[in-house]
Amino acid sequence: MNAHAIRKIVIVGGGTAGWMAAAALTTLRAKNAVEICLVESDEIGTVGVGEATIPPLIAFNNMLGINEDEFVAATNGTFKLGIEFVNWGAVGERYFHPFGPHGQDFRGVHFHQLYSRAARQRAMPDIQNWSMSAVAAELGRFARPGPDARLPLSQLGYAFHFDAGLYALFLRRLAETDGVRRVEGKIVASALDPESGHVRSITLADGREIEGDLFIDCSGFRGLLIEEKLGTGYEDWSKWLPCDRAVAAPCSLPDEPDPFTRSTALAAGWQWRIPLQHRMGNGMVYASNHLARVDAESMLVESLEGDILAEPRHLTFTAGRRRRAWNGNVVSLGLSSGFVEPLESTSIHLIQSGIVKLLALFPDRRFDPAERDEYNRQMQTVFEDVRDFVILHYKATRRDDSEFWNYCRNMDVPDSLATKFELWRTKGRLFREGFELFGTASWVAVLFGQGVLPLETEPAVDAIDEDMANDALEKMRLSYRQMAEHMPGHAEFIARSCTASSG
Ligand code: FAD
């Protein structure tokens, strides 16, 4: 046992970030070596949104030993095969960003290069026809991926939609069972150790004081410790991601839930549609200098496909990231560490990523700066990669029907994204670096989907016989469709194994 081991972790906040951290950090509690306490305030509440996820959450569930059917049932969840984007490239267009790859590479040449050559010579169906997840989504089907790598079903990728409140409750049950102590109360003050400058304790409104060695700040946008106490600073990305407001309102389900999220671009932002088992989550993300709050609310309410189930909820944010996610003995997770709008459902993943990296670089009471710096470096990369991929959707538009879209189409982008664009535009090349979350298939889906086609293919494509490649492409396309036609309907799949356990 390390004589300097962390003895007590205090998690500040019980939203999605707080309870994900609590449930995961219990892995450190072997022989009850670490005490974990989570403080949350019912009076303040949580942000109450965040209901669409991406496939790595499956690994997080596995790490926590969560049974997937129980998890889906407990959170009124549904399955998500990707995101349908409407009106992004131009008004009237739609495309699908699926989970999982497109087609199969051929003798080391990427599938999208072969598709690109074929599409230059003749009218081709959209590239999404070569994605198992996209074809299943189009037909409203779902099944878990099969183990046989020769079958198209093995390429299916999926994630979940769930009720954010129920997800936090589900994790809370897990965490409390594993010994996490929950404290209800409003934090009104915190104290620093005068020597180290580290946070020593927090004080609740009723006067209780809670000390800790390591503090996890999951207090939401305000960043109670990381910003309000330590003044860490925030890097503002709003010149690239100008949306700064959201309004959300659930409605009744008009029909059986689709196995995908829909994102519809509007004149000054976009609208999400997330089907759960018991309701539809809806919301609009918009730029307040282009659209008034009252207009955003009425546009959202008028567009709902079912009966509105709660008062519209308004949220304000600034795209960006905390300059150091880990400062002193405070690690920020969730909204307190930064925010990229939910266009690609990445925030919950960023929490997961932060937790996994924290476990890998877990400190002791000496707080080695090398561990902290490495964590901050890795988290910066993860955040910036997500930022670039989301900016891509705004930059790669041909829309010119509003000032908002004119701004986005013409704005300068970060150098990292500009370089990617250039490599794509010339010969359709894409490279995944370091910890990058979104791989080739994701970039290909958005670039083709929004009409950004490469000028040429890479030279290696010329070595592959054209007739043979086109024949293989057609066979592949048919195999995805045939496979999807044999899959159960999404609602049928849920009814069989994971019907909601709460109303
Ligand atoms: P919060 O939910 O705000 O929780 C903060 C916690 O801190 C609460 O428990 C609160 O009570 C506590 N707290 C704060 N101050 C005090 C105090 N003084 N004393 C005691 N307790 C305190 N993410 C996705 O992955 N997918 C999505 O589809 C998605 N959609 C989103 C849509 C919008 C419009 C927004 C704004 C975000 C979305 N997100 C999404 C992000 C997602 O909602 C958050 O990442 C996630 O909910 C985590 O929030 P949090 O736990 O960091 O903060």
Question: For the chain (length 503 residues), average pLDDT per consecutive 10?
Answer: 91 98 88 88 91 97 96 97 98 97 93 95 95 98 93 96 96 96 98 97 98 98 98 98 98 96 98 97 98 98 97 98 98 98 98 97 97 98 97 97 98 96 94 86 96 94 94 96 97 94 64
Q: Which of 347, 353, 389 for a ligand 1 pocket mutation test, highest count of atoms within 8 Å of Cβ? A: 347
Q: What are the angstrom distances between the C-alpha of 51 and each of 32, 80, 343?
A: 33, 11, 12
Give the sheet arrangement for strand 234-236, strand by strand. 234-236, 320-322, 338-339
Instruction: Please work out whether the CB of residue 183 comes within 6 Å of at least one atom of ligand 1.
Output: no
Cα(458)–Cα(431) distance, integer angstroms: 13
Judged by DSSP in three states, 207 sits in coil
Gap from CA of 16 to ligand 1 centroid (Å)? 6
Cα(92)–Cα(84) distance, integer angstroms: 13
pLDDT of residue 31: 61
With CA atoms as reference, report the closest residue to 308 among 257, 245, 248, 246.
248
Q: The domain 8-51+163-236+319-385 belongs to what CATH superfamily?
A: FAD/NAD(P)-binding domain (3.50.50.60)
Report the nearest atom of ligand 1 relative to the CA of 224: 15
pLDDT of residue 273: 98
Gap from CA of 220 to ligand 1 centroid (Å)? 5
Q: Which residues are catalytic?
A: 80
CB contact at 8 A, 246 and 282:
no
Return phi, psi of residue 159, to 5°: -145, -155
Instruction: Please work out whether the CB of residue 246 comes within 6 Å of at least one atom of ligand 1.
Output: yes
pLDDT of residue 432: 85
Report the nearest atom of ligand 1 relative to the CA of 18: 51
Judged by DSSP in three states, 313 sits in strand
Report the nearest atom of ligand 1 relative to the CA of 336: 52
With CA atoms as reference, report the closest residue to 442 among 484, 382, 386, 394.
386
Tokens of 144: 């878990």
With CA atoms as reference, report the closest residue to 272 among 490, 84, 46.
84
Instruction: Please work out whether the CB of residue 50 comes within 6 Å of at least one atom of ligand 1.
Output: yes
Report the nearest atom of ligand 1 relative to the CA of 285: 34
pLDDT of residue 501: 78
Instruction: Please work out whether the CB of residue 89 comes within 6 Å of at least one atom of ligand 1.
Output: no
With CA atoms as reference, report the closest residue to 337 among 375, 299, 369, 368.
375
Which sign does the torsion angle of CA 375, 380, 381, 382 carry? positive
Gap from CA of 49 to ligand 1 centroid (Å)? 7
Q: Which residues have CB under 8 Å from 16's CB, separation 6+?
A: 46, 50, 164, 167, 168, 334, 348, 351
Gap from CA of 400 to ligand 1 centroid (Å)? 34
pLDDT of residue 381: 95
pLDDT of residue 502: 64
Instruction: Please work out whether the CB of residue 334 comes within 6 Å of at least one atom of ligand 1.
Output: yes
Cα(392)–Cα(408) distance, integer angstroms: 10
pLDDT of residue 32: 65
Gap from CA of 17 to ligand 1 centroid (Å)? 7
Tokens of 475: 């066979």
Cα(482)–Cα(118) distance, integer angstroms: 22
One-letter amino acid identity for 298? S
pLDDT of residue 61: 97
* In the chain, where the domains are located: 8-51+163-236+319-385, 78-162+414-490, 245-316
Instruction: Please work out whether the CB of residue 13 comes within 6 Å of at least one atom of ligand 1.
Output: yes
Instruction: Please work out whether the CB of residue 352 comes within 6 Å of at least one atom of ligand 1.
Output: no
Give the number of other CB atoms < 10 A from CB of residue 196: 12
